[in-house]
A and B are shown apart, each in its own frame.
Chain A
Amino acid sequence: MQTETTPKTERRWMYAGYAVTILWGISLVVARLALDKELQLEPTWLRVAAALLPVLPTAVFLWFVVSAVRGLDELHRRVHLEALAIAYPLAILLLVTLGFLQLAIDLSPENWSYRHVWAYLPIFYCLGLVIAWRRYR
């Protein structure tokens, strides 16, 4: 059983979480702006570098999330597990449905490409958290 649940530790994790999330968000925005078609960033390796820019911040974000979950107590861990159990099938449902719709009709990549769909994943996770917490409150 992990014990890092004191208010001081929670605050430390919260601030670290904000910092990591902001860093991750900035890297996404910078990459997106750098890859804007109107900017026409050249040469190609620079565009690839811009596309890969969020990889390291995402890895840090991933490390943070895993570390934070390991520091949670047993109820919080269960809540996050249930949230994932809700979010994961929802994500599969979304991707499968979009895949089938793509076969049925022409889905514009301008509206339904990977860069648009990923934003639904944290939404599903938050939805899962809300549903899971309702059970234990």
Chain B
Amino acid sequence: MKNRLRVLRAERDWTQADLAERLEVSRQTVNAVETEKYEPSLSLAFKIAQLFGRPIEDIFQANENNGTAKA
């Protein structure tokens, strides 16, 4: 699953630690989501969408090849 988290964070000039604090998760989690090594839970994805004031599908997109999340 692709995401625009790094771009959205950069637009607000936030560090990963800043974003982590706002999302109440660790910085490692933010980094893993940004680098697409970890797919967040639905609740965290909604929290991210709410924080940036955008629809969830505007931030997260399924891969075009299969449309499903990678395990």
Contact A136 B21 (CB under 8 A): no
Chain B residue numbers with a CB within 8 Å of A78 are 38
Closest chain B CB from A11 CB (angstroms)? 14
Q: Does B66 contact A (CB under 8 A)?
A: no
- Complex-state Cα separation, A137 to B21, whole angstroms: 19
> B residues 8-61 with Cβ under 8 Å of A?
20-21, 24-26, 28-29, 31-32, 37-38, 40-41, 43-44, 47
- For chain B, give the interface size range: 10 to 19
List residues of A (60-105) whose CB comes within 8 Å of B's CBs: 73-76, 78
Q: Is the CB of B24 within 8 A of A3?
A: yes
Chain B at the A interface: mostly helix, strand, loop or mixed? helix
Is A136's CB under 8 angstroms from B37's CB? yes
Query: Contact: A75 with B32, CB < 8 Å?
Result: yes
Q: Does A135 contact B (CB under 8 A)?
A: yes
- Is there an interface contact between A1 and B28, defined as CB atoms closer than 8 Å? no
CB of A10 to closest CB in B, whole Å: 8
Q: Which of A74, A76, A135, A137 is close to B44, meaning CB atoms less than 8 Å apart?
A: A74
Chain B residues with Cβ below 8 Å from A75 are 25-26, 28-29, 32, 38
**Pair B28/A136 contact, Cβ less than 8 Å:** yes
A1 engages B37 (CB within 8 Å)? no
Q: Which residue numbers of A lie inside 8 Å of B, CB to CB?
A: 1, 3, 5-6, 73-76, 78, 135-137
A sample of 6 more A-B contacts (CB under 8 A), given A1-B43, A136-B37, A137-B37, is A5-B20, A5-B24, A73-B25, A75-B26, A78-B38, A136-B38
Chain B interface residues (CB < 8 Å from chain A): 20-21, 24-26, 28-29, 31-32, 37-38, 40-41, 43-44, 47
8 nearest CB pairs, A to B: A3-B24, A75-B29, A73-B25, A136-B32, A5-B26, A136-B37, A73-B26, A136-B38
Q: Give 17 CB contacts A-B under 8 Å.
A: A1-B25, A1-B47, A5-B24, A5-B26, A6-B21, A73-B25, A73-B29, A74-B40, A74-B44, A75-B29, A75-B38, A76-B26, A76-B28, A135-B37, A136-B38, A137-B32, A137-B37
